[in-house]
Structure 1
Amino acid sequence: MTSATRRVPGVAAPRPRPALRRLLEPAVAPLLLLVAFLLVWHVAAVALDSTVFPTPLEAAATLVADLGSSAYLAAVAETLLVLLGSYALAVVIGSLLGFLIGLSTFWSDVLSPLIYAVYSIPKITLYPLFLVFLGLGDVGRIGFAFLHGVIPMLLIVLGATASVDRTHLKLAASLRLTTPQLVRRIVVPSIVPSAVTGLRLAFGLTFLGLLIAELLGGSAGLGGELLRNVQLVRMGNIVGEVILITIIALVPTVLLLRLEHRATARFAGRATDAAPAL
């Protein structure tokens, strides 16, 4: 028995927490914050006593009514499908380009400043180009959403790949490891936590780009529905749709954040541990 596991006389061993408690504990603080926000919102709506400022229950009721419409459900499904396609393209292309560029010190130094310069351009100023060349349909929306997500994903993976410990790479070269062995044992364990962070950030930015494209186009998806509600000054529907958009954005983000924590805990130090075992 090791000293870490040896029981101290007279001191009871700590009992493991139930699995359900471990699962629910991280959600307690966010739920309390949500309840506090809803209470403040309700009190403010009642105090203002305005016909254009709904209470949480009124906003939820309008959202439920909207979701009962087949046209509204079709708009939600259309946005989700375009979001899924745009996000998948941004993740795959951004990861591959970032990984390939990051493997070369020369190309990392040459291309990184150019990519950061492009990323600093406000994307909204590029929308007319997408409108002219790609139109208002799914292709234009996918392209604009893709642009918002691919560059952050590329830069994060590029930075993680370029910052892999060069000592480990030199050790691998001296041991004549093949390229697949080098990638599997050194590079991938080093970049996985950053790549998962890129997944989380790219999702939110891709969704943002898609909503902007739908709002400016005003013809399809949740953005089109939101624009019509704004034009008709239907505040209950507007707030209800904002709630729906928040849920769509929040659920994958929370799941990706949990995946990020697990990846960091699992892969932190993996490359360092693997180097002596080469």
Structure 2
Amino acid sequence: MSARRSPGWVPPLVLAVALVAVWTVTAALADSAVYPGPGEALQGLQSDITDSRFLGSVGDTARVLLLSYAAAIAAGAVTGMLLGLSAFWSRATLPVVYALNSVPKIVLYPIFLLFLGIGDLSRGSFAFVSGVLPMFLIMVEATAGVRRLHLKLSASLGMSRWSLLRRIVVPSVLPSLASGMRLCFGLTLIGLLLAEMFSGSSGLGYELLRNLSLARVENIIGEVLLIGLLALVPTLALQQLETRIRNRYEVSV
């Protein structure tokens, strides 16, 4: 009888506990003011959380992230699937998008500030672009990889484009869509934090840079822990969703 598999969240939890233990020991051995232990970091985070301004910044980041992420998933998935069905437009567009995606996004942020100004619109748009390009590329490649036999069969049956997408393309690309959703979340979050650090008046990126300017090391490490937690929980949930989708739709060849 095969051994029962542990839940997917157990290995990351074990790793996290091990890292905290190593952190505690090394901080105690170093005994340095610039290397606080977990206790000091949690105290710094607690002092921040009791501040209503900091809680407002957390809410601002969560709100803009949710909107940017949802828009990136929707736009990247839909345009990627539609373009992936056309061999001509795929060949014409992919080199440009790959080249644009290889450019460090932060060097483009002044353009967002120039046209959109300082505020949620520029930060959200930058976060959107950070996530939508990888999502688009993943969906184009996944759609282009749909079995040609299925597409030829749909053409011979005279299926409409909507029926083709609903019955053949979407079920075939769902595993790639789930992977793209997981990857896109982290990239969107990184883009948003960078934008908040450069031009924000609120948000976790702004708070991180503010603590850095005040040399509050415990608060910096505490906020890093908070950002890590806020990123880890959705990522684990998306990973579980990806596993379920792959088990249901992915066909071994």
Query: What's the TM-score, normalizing by structure 1?
Result: 0.86
Per-residue CA distance 1:169-220 (angstroms, 9 max, x = gap): 1112112223333222211111100011111111100000000001111421
| Partner residue of 1:249 out of 218, 225, 231 | 231
Per-residue CA distance 1:74-113 (angstroms, 9 max, x = gap): 0000010010111111111111111111111111111111
Query: Aligned pair in 2 of structure 1 residues 247, 214: CA closer, same or farther (>3 Å)?
Result: same
Contact 1:218-1:227 within 8 A present in 2 as well: no
Structure 1 position 132 matched with structure 2 position 114: yes
Contact 2:8-2:240 within 8 A present in 1 as well: no
Query: Aligned pair in 2 of structure 1 residues 78, 263: CA closer, same or farther (>3 Å)?
Result: same
**CA-based RMSD:** 1.8
Rounded to whole Å, the distance in 1 between the matches of 2:166 and 2:156 is 17
What letter matches 1:84 in structure 2? L
Contact 2:119-2:200 within 8 A present in 1 as well: no
Counterpart in 2 of 1:82?
64
Query: Aligned pair in 2 of structure 1 residues 194, 132: CA closer, same or farther (>3 Å)?
Result: same
**Aligned-residue identity in percent:** 52
Counterpart in 1 of 2:91?
109
What letter matches 1:85 in structure 2? L
Structure 1 position 37 matched with structure 2 position 16: no
Query: Aligned pair in 2 of structure 1 residues 15, 201: CA closer, same or farther (>3 Å)?
Result: closer
Question: In terms of mean alpha carbon deviation, does 175-184 or 196-205 score higher?
Answer: 175-184
Rounded to whole Å, the distance in 1 between the matches of 2:13 and 2:76 is 34
Gaps in structure 1 of 5+ consecutive residues = 1-13, 273-278
What letter matches 2:87 in structure 1? T
Counterpart in 1 of 2:168?
186
Higher relative contact order (CA 8 A, sep 6+): 2
Per-residue CA distance 1:131-180 (angstroms, 9 max, x = gap): 11112200110111111001011111111111111111111211222333
Rounded to whole Å, the distance in 1 between the matches of 2:7 and 2:239 is 16
Contact 2:193-2:204 within 8 A present in 1 as well: yes
Structure 1 position 145 matched with structure 2 position 135: no
Rounded to whole Å, the distance in 2 between the matches of 1:95 and 1:35 is 36
Question: In terms of mean alpha carbon deviation, does 219-228 or 170-179 score higher?
Answer: 170-179
